[in-house]
Amino acid sequence: MSERWARAALTAYRYAGAVAYPLIGPYVAWRASRGKEDRARRRERYGVAGRPRPEGPVIWIHAASVGETIAVVPLVE
């Protein structure tokens, strides 16, 4: 992939994000009005944590699917 193509793709991605951003709020509000979103957790869509960070060191474990979640349970325990 050439640098010029990568730069153009990144620019297009940024413009698409800028265009979509104002539509996210009304879309989430519409989903919440139909019971598909929890209104109390709406701010999480914008990166605002729903809970305060616990004291001490924190280890984050990411599991993208149900199978990965099941596989990581023994590690967590």
Number of domains in the chain: 1
Higher pLDDT, 58 or 9: 9
Enclosing domain of residue 63: 3-76
Catalytic residue numbers?
Answer: 68
Kindly report the pTM of this predicted structure.
Answer: 0.49
Looking at the predicted structure, is the pLDDT value of residue 16 above 90? Answer: yes
Q: In angstroms, rounded to a whole number, what is the distance separating the alpha carbons of residues 16 and 52?
A: 32
User: Is residue 42 within 8 Å of residue 28, measured between CB atoms?
Assistant: yes
Looking at the predicted structure, is the pLDDT value of residue 1 above 70? Answer: no
**CA-based max dimension of the chain:** 48
Higher pLDDT, 29 or 71: 71
pLDDT of residue 58: 87
User: Is residue 28 within 8 Å of residue 34, measured between CB atoms?
Assistant: no
Q: In angstroms, rounded to a whole number, what is the distance separating the alpha carbons of residues 52 and 55?
A: 9
- Give the percent of the chain with pLDDT over 90: 47
